[in-house]
Amino acid sequence: MSLASIPVAKPLDHLAECGAAGDPALVLRAETLTFEALRSRVSRLAQWLADRVPEKGSRVASWAAKGELTCLMPLAAARAGLIHVPINPLLKRAQVAHILADSGAVLLVGTKSRIALLEEGDIDPNCRAIEEGEALAQAIELPSGLPPSEADPSNLCAILYTSGSTGRPKGVMLSHANLWLGAVSVADYLDMAKDDVTLAVLPLSFDYGQNQLFSTWYAGGCVVPLDYLFPRDVVKACAKHGVTTLAAVPPLWVQLTEIDWSEEAVTSMRRLTNSGGALTTDLVRDLRRIFPAALLFPMYGLTEAFRSTYLDPSLVDSHPTSMGSAIPFAEILVIDDRGNIAAPGEEGELVHCGPLVAQGYWQDPERTAERFRPGPAASEFGGMAVWSGDRVKRDGDGLLYFVGRRDAMIKSAGNRISPQEVEDAALASGLVAEAVALGVADERLGQAVHLVVRADPGASDAEAALPKFLARELPNFMQPQAIHWRAEMPLNPNGKIDRTALKQEIGG
C-alpha cells in the first residue's frame, strides 16, 4: 500500500470490531477475552468514562502496569470522545505531576500504589484519581455501554508524552486517523493475520508499544501483555502462548540472546521487529541463530510521525546497517541544507510527510513550529511534515542510512531522554552548582547516561548523597551510569559550558 492508496481511516475504537467474535483478542492473567468480550468491555468502560467525564475532548490519564485497563483505555477513551494520556508506569511523581498538569487531565485511573506516591499539589483539584480495580469493577457492572463511535477520524484522541532535547516531556497530539492508519500500515508490511499472537513487552505509553495492540487487533489477532522481571519471563511466555510476533529494542534483544530458548518458545515465532536503536551485525547473527525461521524487521520511527521506515527482511543480511525505506502511507524525503532533495550518498535531514504525521505538541506552538512545518516543495503528498532533526543518507537503491542526531537527545535502551531533565534533577538536589548530562556509546544500551557535575561549594558529602537523591527523583532508565565530578567546567568562546569537550573527555 502506498500514498496513492490510503484507505479511509476509521475511529480508533473500531479496532475492537475487527476480529471474529469468538476468536481470542486479549490474554489477561485471570482470563482470555474474545473479540466479543473485548467489544463488551470497551463499550462499558467507554460508558463509565463518559458518565464521569461528559465533556468531549477532556483528557483522561492512565498510570498502571500492563493489564485490562491499560489495554482497553485507548479504545474506550476514544469511543467516549475523550483524549487518552497514557503515563509510563516507570515514571516517578515529578514527571507524572508535570504530565497531569500540562495535559490538564481531569481523571487519573491507576494502581493504588502509584496514586499513593503523588503528594499534595501534584494533582489539580479538578482532577479525580481512582484506582484501576475500582474503575474496572464499576464499568463491568453497567447494564450496557456505548456503541461504536462515529467520531471524525481527524479528531484528537491521544497525547503521548516524550522527552525533548531540552526541557520537560512534551505531549505529541495524535488523531484517530494517525493511530488507525499506523495499525493498517504495520499489519500490512508485517503481513499479520488473525492467527497471530503478539507478546506485548514494550510499554503501552509509547507509540511502538501501543501499536503492538492496534496492528494485531486490526489483523484480528491476539495480544498477550507482559510486564517481565527477567528475560527468562519472555521466553516462558513465548512458549506458553505460542507467540508469533515479538517486538523489542536492542538492549532487550541483547539480553534475550544471552539466555537459552526452548524449542517450544521458538517454533511458533514468525517475525521479530526492532526499533529504538540500530541492530548490530553480531545481534542480527545471534537472532538468526535462535530464530532461524522468523523474519527480522529493523525499523526506524519517531513519535511525531509514529513510524517512518522499515528494512525488508530479505535485505537484512546484505544491508545490515540500513534503515530501509518508507513504510506504507509515509513519504520520506532527504533534504539537504539548501532545501532540495539530497543526491544519492549526500547527507541531509530526514523529513516525514503523509497522514501519519501528528498534529503537533500539546499547548506548545513554539516547539510545534520548530518540528512541524510545511512539506518541502518536492513532496508529492504535501501538507504538514515532521522535520526530524536526524541526519541520513539515501543510497542509489533508495535505502536509507542513519548518520547522526542533530539535537542532544540521549537514546538509551529504546528510551528518548532529555539531557535537561536529568540536569534539572541534579541541580534540584542542591548538591551541585553545574550539571551536564551526556549520552556515551554503550554496547548494551546504545547510549548510557553520564552526568558531569561541579559540586556546590556549600554542599557536604555531595558525592555520596547525589546518587541517592537521583534514585528517588528519576526513573530507572534515566539514572546516570556514571557521575563525573569536576572542579570546574570547560567553557566555549561564548562562555557556555563546552559539552563537546566534556564528551571527548569522558570518551563519548
Supply the CATH number for residue 124's domain. Answer: 3.40.50.980
- What is the structure's pLDDT at 209? 92
The pTM assigned to this predicted structure is 0.87
| Cβ pair 480, 470 in contact under 8 A | yes
In this structure, the number of other CB atoms found within 10 A of the CB of residue 32 comes to 13
d(CA 299, CA 294): 16
| Cβ pair 371, 304 in contact under 8 A | yes
Identify which of 297, 319, 493, 478 has the alpha carbon closest to the alpha carbon of residue 398. Answer: 319
- 203 and 146 in a single domain? The answer is no
In a domain, 12, yes or no: no
Q: Which helix or strand (DSSP H or E) is residue 422 part of?
A: helix 419-428
Residue 455 DSSP class? E
- What is the structure's pLDDT at 321? 85
**Residue where a domain stops, chosen among 96, 124, 151:** 151
Strand boundaries in 306-355, DSSP class E: 309-310, 322-326, 331-335, 348-353
In a domain, 145, yes or no: yes
- 144 and 41 in a single domain? The answer is yes
CATH code for the domain of 464: 3.30.300.30
- 116 and 221 in a single domain? The answer is no
H helix intervals, 141-223 = 176-189, 207-218
Number of compact structural domains in the chain: 3
**Residue where a domain stops, chosen among 293, 326, 349:** 293
- 57 and 141 in a single domain? The answer is yes
- What is the structure's pLDDT at 492? 66
Specify which residues 245 forms β-bridges with: 198, 271
d(CA 472, CA 486): 23
Looking at residue 193, its amino acid is: A
- What is the structure's pLDDT at 295? 98
d(CA 74, CA 209): 12
- 102 and 205 in a single domain? The answer is no
Residues 6+ apart with CB under 8 A from 156: 57, 83, 173, 174, 175, 359
Residues 6+ apart with CB under 8 A from 22: 34, 35, 36
- What is the structure's pLDDT at 270? 98
- What is the structure's pLDDT at 166? 47
In a domain, 307, yes or no: no
- What is the structure's pLDDT at 407? 67
Residues 6+ apart with CB under 8 A from 495: none
- 146 and 199 in a single domain? The answer is no
In a domain, 344, yes or no: no
- What is the structure's pLDDT at 165? 44
- Backbone phi, psi, residue 401, to 5°: -135, 135
| Cβ pair 146, 80 in contact under 8 A | yes
Strand bridging mode 271-274 / 245-248? parallel
- 77 and 130 in a single domain? The answer is yes
- 133 and 235 in a single domain? The answer is no
Task: Report the SS3 class of residue 44.
Answer: helix
d(CA 69, CA 435): 39
- 136 and 40 in a single domain? The answer is yes
Query: For the chain, which residues score pLDDT lower than 70?
Result: 163-167, 405-408, 492-495, 508
String of DSSP letters for 85-148: EE--TT--HHHHHHHHHHHT-SEEEE-HHHHHH--TTSS-TT-EEEEHHHHHHHHHTSS--PPP
d(CA 454, CA 486): 5
- 35 and 145 in a single domain? The answer is yes
- Backbone phi, psi, residue 146, to 5°: -85, 140
d(CA 184, CA 122): 38
Alpha carbon dihedral 225, 231, 234, 236, in 10-degree steps, equals -140
Specify which residues 463 forms β-bridges with: none
Task: Report the SS3 class of residue 356.
Answer: coil
In a domain, 244, yes or no: yes
- 65 and 145 in a single domain? The answer is yes
| Cβ pair 198, 221 in contact under 8 A | yes
**Residue where a domain stops, chosen among 241, 274, 293:** 293
In a domain, 74, yes or no: yes
In a domain, 385, yes or no: no
Range of the domain at 105: 31-151
Specify which residues 441 forms β-bridges with: 447
Q: Which helix or strand (DSSP H or E) is residue 223 part of?
A: strand 222-225
Q: Which residue carries 464499568 as its cell?
A: 139
- 139 and 203 in a single domain? The answer is no
Residue 280, C-alpha cell as written in the block: 548490530
- Reported as half-sphere exposure (CB side, CA atoms, 13 A), residue 280 has a value of 13
In a domain, 383, yes or no: no
